[in-house]
Amino acid sequence: MSQITLNAPALFNLSGRVAFVTGAGSGIGQRIALGLAQCGADVACLDRRTDGGLAETLDVIAQTGRKAIALAADVTDGAALDDAVARAEADLGPLGIAVNAAGIANANPAEEMGEDQYQTLMDINMKGVFLSCQAEARAMLKHGRGSIINIASMSGVIVNRGLMQVHYNASKAGVIHMSKSMAMEWVDRGIRVNSISPGYTATPMNTRPEMVHQTKEFERQTPMQRMASVDEMVGPAVFLASDASSYCTGVDLLVDGGFCCW
Ligand code: NAP
Protein backbone atom coordinates (compact mmCIF):
# COMPACT_ATOMS: atom_id res chain seq x y z
CA MET A 1 0.00 0.00 0.00
CA SER A 2 1.38 3.42 -0.89
CA GLN A 3 1.02 6.42 1.39
CA ILE A 4 -2.09 6.23 3.62
CA THR A 5 -3.95 9.54 3.36
CA LEU A 6 -7.46 8.39 4.18
CA ASN A 7 -8.76 8.99 7.72
CA ALA A 8 -11.55 6.40 7.70
CA PRO A 9 -13.49 7.46 10.83
CA ALA A 10 -13.57 11.06 9.56
CA LEU A 11 -15.60 9.87 6.57
CA PHE A 12 -18.66 9.70 8.84
CA ASN A 13 -18.14 13.12 10.43
CA LEU A 14 -20.95 15.52 9.49
CA SER A 15 -19.57 18.59 11.30
CA GLY A 16 -20.29 21.77 9.38
CA ARG A 17 -23.05 20.15 7.32
CA VAL A 18 -26.68 21.28 7.23
CA ALA A 19 -29.40 18.64 6.99
CA PHE A 20 -33.12 18.87 6.18
CA VAL A 21 -35.33 16.02 7.41
CA THR A 22 -39.03 15.56 6.59
CA GLY A 23 -41.23 13.51 8.91
CA ALA A 24 -38.85 14.59 11.70
CA GLY A 25 -41.58 14.68 14.35
CA SER A 26 -41.92 10.92 14.72
CA GLY A 27 -40.42 7.49 14.18
CA ILE A 28 -37.68 6.96 11.61
CA GLY A 29 -37.37 10.62 10.56
CA GLN A 30 -37.13 11.78 14.17
CA ARG A 31 -34.39 9.28 15.04
CA ILE A 32 -32.41 9.98 11.86
CA ALA A 33 -32.59 13.75 12.53
CA LEU A 34 -31.04 13.14 15.95
CA GLY A 35 -28.46 10.73 14.51
CA LEU A 36 -27.29 13.29 11.94
CA ALA A 37 -26.93 15.85 14.75
CA GLN A 38 -24.97 13.34 16.86
CA CYS A 39 -22.54 13.10 13.92
CA GLY A 40 -22.16 16.89 13.81
CA ALA A 41 -24.84 18.26 11.46
CA ASP A 42 -27.21 21.13 12.17
CA VAL A 43 -30.71 19.97 11.29
CA ALA A 44 -33.87 21.59 9.90
CA CYS A 45 -36.73 19.39 11.13
CA LEU A 46 -39.92 19.44 9.08
CA ASP A 47 -43.29 17.86 9.84
CA ARG A 48 -46.84 18.80 9.07
CA ARG A 49 -47.41 20.14 12.60
CA THR A 50 -45.10 21.83 15.08
CA ASP A 51 -47.30 20.91 18.06
CA GLY A 52 -46.52 17.17 17.89
CA GLY A 53 -43.18 15.40 18.16
CA LEU A 54 -41.13 18.17 16.56
CA ALA A 55 -40.65 19.90 19.93
CA GLU A 56 -39.19 16.67 21.31
CA THR A 57 -36.90 16.35 18.26
CA LEU A 58 -35.60 19.88 18.86
CA ASP A 59 -35.07 19.14 22.57
CA VAL A 60 -32.99 16.01 21.98
CA ILE A 61 -30.94 17.69 19.25
CA ALA A 62 -30.25 20.64 21.57
CA GLN A 63 -28.67 18.14 23.99
CA THR A 64 -26.09 17.25 21.32
CA GLY A 65 -24.98 20.88 21.11
CA ARG A 66 -26.01 21.14 17.46
CA LYS A 67 -28.53 23.65 16.09
CA ALA A 68 -32.03 22.62 15.06
CA ILE A 69 -35.05 24.49 13.74
CA ALA A 70 -38.66 23.34 13.43
CA LEU A 71 -40.50 23.82 10.14
CA ALA A 72 -44.20 23.14 9.62
CA ALA A 73 -45.15 22.22 6.05
CA ASP A 74 -47.11 19.61 4.18
CA VAL A 75 -44.94 17.64 1.75
CA THR A 76 -47.74 17.75 -0.83
CA ASP A 77 -47.21 21.53 -1.10
CA GLY A 78 -44.23 22.35 -3.34
CA ALA A 79 -44.23 26.09 -2.63
CA ALA A 80 -44.24 25.43 1.13
CA LEU A 81 -41.26 23.09 0.68
CA ASP A 82 -39.34 25.71 -1.32
CA ASP A 83 -40.02 28.20 1.51
CA ALA A 84 -38.96 25.66 4.14
CA VAL A 85 -35.64 24.98 2.39
CA ALA A 86 -35.05 28.73 2.06
CA ARG A 87 -35.72 29.13 5.82
CA ALA A 88 -33.36 26.26 6.61
CA GLU A 89 -30.58 27.84 4.55
CA ALA A 90 -31.18 31.32 6.00
CA ASP A 91 -31.04 30.00 9.58
CA LEU A 92 -28.45 27.21 9.32
CA GLY A 93 -26.44 27.65 6.10
CA PRO A 94 -26.11 25.90 2.70
CA LEU A 95 -28.03 22.64 2.52
CA GLY A 96 -25.88 19.52 2.08
CA ILE A 97 -27.99 16.59 3.32
CA ALA A 98 -31.70 15.77 2.98
CA VAL A 99 -33.67 12.83 4.34
CA ASN A 100 -37.24 12.44 3.16
CA ALA A 101 -39.07 10.28 5.71
CA ALA A 102 -42.57 11.79 5.78
CA GLY A 103 -45.09 9.16 4.80
CA ILE A 104 -48.30 7.39 5.76
CA ALA A 105 -49.58 3.81 5.63
CA ASN A 106 -53.02 2.27 5.64
CA ALA A 107 -54.71 -0.76 4.14
CA ASN A 108 -57.85 -1.85 2.32
CA PRO A 109 -58.54 -4.62 -0.20
CA ALA A 110 -57.86 -3.33 -3.72
CA GLU A 111 -61.40 -3.97 -4.91
CA GLU A 112 -62.83 -1.89 -2.04
CA MET A 113 -60.34 0.97 -1.92
CA GLY A 114 -61.85 4.36 -2.71
CA GLU A 115 -60.10 6.77 -5.05
CA ASP A 116 -59.61 9.21 -2.16
CA GLN A 117 -57.72 6.69 -0.02
CA TYR A 118 -55.52 5.76 -2.99
CA GLN A 119 -54.86 9.34 -4.04
CA THR A 120 -54.15 10.75 -0.55
CA LEU A 121 -51.48 8.14 0.10
CA MET A 122 -49.92 8.56 -3.34
CA ASP A 123 -49.87 12.35 -2.91
CA ILE A 124 -47.94 12.09 0.36
CA ASN A 125 -45.71 9.06 -0.23
CA MET A 126 -44.77 9.61 -3.87
CA LYS A 127 -45.53 13.17 -4.99
CA GLY A 128 -44.39 14.36 -1.54
CA VAL A 129 -40.99 12.73 -2.01
CA PHE A 130 -40.69 14.16 -5.53
CA LEU A 131 -41.55 17.70 -4.38
CA SER A 132 -39.18 17.39 -1.40
CA CYS A 133 -36.29 16.26 -3.62
CA GLN A 134 -37.07 19.03 -6.09
CA ALA A 135 -36.96 21.75 -3.41
CA GLU A 136 -33.80 20.29 -1.83
CA ALA A 137 -32.00 19.83 -5.16
CA ARG A 138 -32.82 23.35 -6.31
CA ALA A 139 -30.74 24.55 -3.35
CA MET A 140 -28.04 21.86 -3.57
CA LEU A 141 -27.50 22.36 -7.32
CA LYS A 142 -26.49 25.95 -6.59
CA HIS A 143 -23.76 24.66 -4.24
CA GLY A 144 -22.74 21.77 -6.55
CA ARG A 145 -22.89 19.31 -3.66
CA GLY A 146 -25.47 17.29 -1.73
CA SER A 147 -26.77 13.92 -0.61
CA ILE A 148 -30.49 13.11 -0.70
CA ILE A 149 -31.86 10.00 1.02
CA ASN A 150 -35.44 8.91 0.46
CA ILE A 151 -37.07 6.52 2.91
CA ALA A 152 -38.76 3.91 0.73
CA SER A 153 -39.65 0.44 2.11
CA MET A 154 -39.06 -3.23 1.50
CA SER A 155 -42.73 -3.04 0.38
CA GLY A 156 -41.35 -1.42 -2.77
CA VAL A 157 -39.49 -4.65 -3.50
CA ILE A 158 -41.75 -7.41 -2.10
CA VAL A 159 -45.47 -7.75 -1.41
CA ASN A 160 -46.05 -8.00 2.36
CA ARG A 161 -47.85 -11.28 2.96
CA GLY A 162 -51.34 -10.62 4.37
CA LEU A 163 -51.25 -6.82 4.06
CA MET A 164 -53.69 -5.38 1.54
CA GLN A 165 -51.95 -2.12 0.71
CA VAL A 166 -51.55 -2.00 -3.05
CA HIS A 167 -51.27 1.80 -3.02
CA TYR A 168 -48.53 1.77 -0.33
CA ASN A 169 -46.50 -0.93 -2.08
CA ALA A 170 -46.78 0.88 -5.42
CA SER A 171 -45.82 4.22 -3.82
CA LYS A 172 -42.66 2.71 -2.36
CA ALA A 173 -41.65 1.00 -5.61
CA GLY A 174 -42.15 4.46 -7.13
CA VAL A 175 -39.88 6.09 -4.54
CA ILE A 176 -37.09 3.59 -5.25
CA HIS A 177 -37.20 4.15 -9.00
CA MET A 178 -37.74 7.89 -8.68
CA SER A 179 -34.60 8.04 -6.52
CA LYS A 180 -32.56 6.22 -9.17
CA SER A 181 -33.98 8.48 -11.89
CA MET A 182 -33.12 11.68 -10.02
CA ALA A 183 -29.70 10.24 -9.14
CA MET A 184 -28.99 9.98 -12.85
CA GLU A 185 -30.33 13.46 -13.66
CA TRP A 186 -27.98 15.05 -11.12
CA VAL A 187 -25.03 12.61 -11.23
CA ASP A 188 -22.71 15.05 -13.00
CA ARG A 189 -23.71 18.02 -10.82
CA GLY A 190 -22.51 16.85 -7.40
CA ILE A 191 -25.77 15.49 -6.02
CA ARG A 192 -26.20 11.88 -4.92
CA VAL A 193 -29.67 10.38 -4.46
CA ASN A 194 -30.16 7.05 -2.70
CA SER A 195 -32.98 5.32 -0.86
CA ILE A 196 -33.24 3.27 2.31
CA SER A 197 -35.82 0.50 2.36
CA PRO A 198 -36.60 -0.45 5.95
CA GLY A 199 -38.25 -3.69 6.90
CA TYR A 200 -40.79 -3.79 9.71
CA THR A 201 -39.69 -1.10 12.17
CA ALA A 202 -41.11 -0.32 15.60
CA THR A 203 -42.58 3.18 15.17
CA PRO A 204 -45.99 4.73 15.90
CA MET A 205 -46.96 3.70 12.32
CA ASN A 206 -47.12 0.02 13.31
CA THR A 207 -47.02 -0.31 17.08
CA ARG A 208 -50.61 0.83 17.73
CA PRO A 209 -52.36 -1.47 20.27
CA GLU A 210 -54.75 -2.78 17.60
CA MET A 211 -51.72 -4.05 15.67
CA VAL A 212 -50.33 -6.27 18.41
CA HIS A 213 -51.18 -9.53 16.59
CA GLN A 214 -49.87 -8.15 13.33
CA THR A 215 -46.54 -7.11 14.86
CA LYS A 216 -46.06 -10.61 16.27
CA GLU A 217 -46.61 -11.92 12.76
CA PHE A 218 -44.12 -9.34 11.35
CA GLU A 219 -41.52 -10.67 13.80
CA ARG A 220 -42.26 -14.27 12.95
CA GLN A 221 -41.87 -13.62 9.20
CA THR A 222 -38.57 -11.72 9.56
CA PRO A 223 -35.39 -13.88 9.38
CA MET A 224 -33.92 -12.00 12.38
CA GLN A 225 -37.19 -12.79 14.24
CA ARG A 226 -37.74 -9.20 15.37
CA MET A 227 -38.69 -5.77 14.09
CA ALA A 228 -36.01 -3.11 13.61
CA SER A 229 -35.66 -0.35 16.16
CA VAL A 230 -35.45 3.19 14.81
CA ASP A 231 -31.85 3.28 16.09
CA GLU A 232 -30.97 0.74 13.40
CA MET A 233 -31.90 3.21 10.63
CA VAL A 234 -29.31 5.74 11.83
CA GLY A 235 -26.13 3.99 10.64
CA PRO A 236 -27.43 3.47 7.09
CA ALA A 237 -28.60 7.10 6.94
CA VAL A 238 -25.30 8.49 8.25
CA PHE A 239 -23.44 6.31 5.76
CA LEU A 240 -25.47 7.57 2.79
CA ALA A 241 -25.39 11.18 4.04
CA SER A 242 -21.64 11.24 4.56
CA ASP A 243 -18.44 11.06 2.52
CA ALA A 244 -18.28 7.36 3.47
CA SER A 245 -20.67 6.75 0.54
CA SER A 246 -19.10 9.23 -1.93
CA TYR A 247 -19.23 6.67 -4.79
CA CYS A 248 -22.81 5.51 -4.06
CA THR A 249 -25.69 6.97 -6.01
CA GLY A 250 -28.92 5.40 -7.23
CA VAL A 251 -28.62 2.69 -4.57
CA ASP A 252 -31.57 1.23 -2.66
CA LEU A 253 -30.21 0.03 0.69
CA LEU A 254 -32.44 -2.69 2.17
CA VAL A 255 -32.37 -2.59 5.99
CA ASP A 256 -34.78 -5.44 6.61
CA GLY A 257 -33.30 -8.05 8.96
CA GLY A 258 -32.88 -10.37 6.00
CA PHE A 259 -36.57 -10.25 4.99
CA CYS A 260 -36.05 -10.02 1.24
CA CYS A 261 -33.69 -13.02 1.18
CA TRP A 262 -36.56 -15.44 1.79
P1 NAP B 1 -44.39 7.82 11.60
O2 NAP B 1 -43.85 7.51 12.95
O3 NAP B 1 -45.87 7.90 11.41
O4 NAP B 1 -43.69 9.17 11.09
C5 NAP B 1 -44.05 9.78 9.88
C6 NAP B 1 -44.06 11.28 10.08
O7 NAP B 1 -44.36 11.90 8.81
C8 NAP B 1 -45.17 11.73 11.06
O9 NAP B 1 -44.70 12.71 11.95
C10 NAP B 1 -46.21 12.27 10.12
O11 NAP B 1 -47.08 13.23 10.68
C12 NAP B 1 -45.34 12.88 9.03
N13 NAP B 1 -46.15 13.15 7.85
C14 NAP B 1 -47.12 12.38 7.31
N15 NAP B 1 -47.66 12.98 6.25
C16 NAP B 1 -47.04 14.17 6.13
C17 NAP B 1 -47.19 15.25 5.22
N18 NAP B 1 -48.12 15.23 4.25
N19 NAP B 1 -46.37 16.32 5.34
C20 NAP B 1 -45.44 16.36 6.33
N21 NAP B 1 -45.27 15.37 7.23
C22 NAP B 1 -46.06 14.29 7.13
O23 NAP B 1 -43.90 6.75 10.55
P24 NAP B 1 -42.52 5.95 10.38
O25 NAP B 1 -42.81 4.53 10.64
O26 NAP B 1 -41.42 6.64 11.08
O27 NAP B 1 -42.33 6.11 8.81
C28 NAP B 1 -41.38 6.99 8.23
C29 NAP B 1 -41.13 6.54 6.79
O30 NAP B 1 -40.60 5.22 6.83
C31 NAP B 1 -42.41 6.48 5.96
O32 NAP B 1 -42.14 6.93 4.65
C33 NAP B 1 -42.74 4.99 5.96
O34 NAP B 1 -43.50 4.62 4.84
C35 NAP B 1 -41.35 4.39 5.96
N36 NAP B 1 -41.29 3.01 6.43
C37 NAP B 1 -41.73 2.67 7.68
C38 NAP B 1 -41.65 1.35 8.09
C39 NAP B 1 -42.10 0.91 9.44
O40 NAP B 1 -42.20 -0.32 9.65
N41 NAP B 1 -42.37 1.79 10.36
C42 NAP B 1 -41.14 0.37 7.21
C43 NAP B 1 -40.71 0.76 5.95
C44 NAP B 1 -40.79 2.09 5.57
P45 NAP B 1 -48.51 12.72 11.26
O46 NAP B 1 -48.21 12.01 12.54
O47 NAP B 1 -49.26 14.00 11.41
O48 NAP B 1 -49.10 11.81 10.20
Sheet holding 191-198, edge to edge: 68-72, 42-47, 18-22, 97-100, 146-151, 191-198, 252-255
C-alpha of residue 176 to centroid of ligand 1, in Å: 16
Q: Each residue of 145-180: pLDDT tens digit?
A: 999 999 999 999 999 999 999 999 999 999 999 999
Q: By percentage, how much of the chain surpasses pLDDT 70?
A: 99
Q: With bands split at pLDDT 50, 70 and 90, how would you rate the model's confidence at 207? A: confident
Residues 27-80: pLDDT tens digits?
Answer: 999 999 999 999 999 999 999 998 889 999 999 999 999 999 999 999 999 999
pLDDT higher than threshold 70 for residue 114: yes
pLDDT of residue 8: 92
Distance 20 CA to ligand 1 centre (A): 15
Atom of ligand 1 nearest to the CA of 125: 32
Task: Output the pLDDT for position 108.
Answer: 96
What is the pLDDT, as a whole number, of residue 125?
A: 98
Segment 194-219 shows an average pLDDT of 90
pLDDT of 215 higher than 70: yes
pTM passes above 0.75: yes
SS3 97: strand
**Using an 8 Å Cβ cutoff, are 218 and 246 in contact?**
no
How high is the pLDDT of residue 251? 98
Tell me which residue of 56, 130, 139, 129 sits closest to 94, measured CA to CA: 139
The confidence score (pLDDT) of residue 40 equals: 98
Instruction: With H, G, I as helix, E, B as strand and everything else as coil, classify residue 25.
Output: coil
Residues with CB under 6 A from ligand 1: 22-23, 25-29, 47-49, 74-76, 101-105, 124, 128, 151, 153, 198, 200-201, 203-206
Phi, psi of 242 (to 5 degrees): -100, 175
Cα separation, 152 vs 170, whole angstroms? 11
**pLDDT value at 209 more than 90:** no
Is pLDDT above 70 for 1?
no
Give tens-digit pLDDT for 72-101. Answer: 999 999 999 999 999 999 999 999 999 999
Task: Put residue 65 in one of left, alpha, beta given phi > 0 → left and psi -120 to 50 → alpha.
Answer: left
State the pLDDT at residue 2: 65
What is the C-alpha radius of gyration for the chain, rounded to an integer number of angstroms?
Answer: 18
Is 118 a residue of the active site?
no
pLDDT tens digits, one per residue of 221-244: 999 999 999 999 999 999 999 999
The Cα–Cα gap between 25 and 240 comes to: 21
